[in-house]
């Protein structure tokens, strides 16, 4: 798994330190983010630029949304296979098992 991180100071890889298959990719520009994203088979992201970049690059997406219908009913991946997951309140409420199910559907089952 690759974690594409545009804010290196966040050091998001610390959240995955127990995993042995995580590579953090720090991007300094939008061009770097596009380049890194273009190498992916699937992108999992909260509703933000990576979802829309992935759609433009025709990369399947697991899109994570907070419980705001005005967002998830209007702003979602277009023209690409995707699974939209919405939380009961905030994005952090989406359990990893649901993300894994969506990933499996897009990469294996679908």
Query: In this predicted model, what pLDDT tens digit does every residue of 37-78 receive, in sequence order?
Result: 898 888 888 888 888 999 999 999 999 988 877 777 777 788
- The closest of 4, 78, 87, 83 to 38, measured between CA atoms, is 4
- Report the mean per-residue pLDDT for the chain: 80
* pLDDT for 105: 93
Residue 55 contacts residue 40 (beta carbons within 8 Å):
no
* Alpha-carbon gap, residue 10 to 62, rounded angstroms: 22
* pLDDT for 67: 85
* Alpha-carbon gap, residue 70 to 15, rounded angstroms: 30
> What percent of the chain lies above the pLDDT cut of 70?
76
């Amino acid at each position: 798994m690759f974690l594409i991180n545009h804010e290196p100071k966040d050091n998001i890889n610390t959240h995955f330190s127990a995993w042995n298959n995580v590579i953090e990719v720090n991007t300094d520009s939008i061009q770097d983010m596009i380049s890194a994203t273009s190498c992916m088979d699937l992108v999992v992201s909260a509703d933000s630029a990576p979802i829309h970049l992935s759609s433009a690059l025709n990369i399947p997406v697991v899109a994570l949304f907070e419980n705001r219908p005005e967002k998830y009913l209007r702003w979602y991946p277009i023209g690409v296979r995707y699974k939209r997951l919405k939380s009961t309140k905030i994005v952090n409420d989406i359990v990893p098992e649901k993300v894994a199910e969506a990933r499996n559907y897009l990469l294996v089952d679908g």
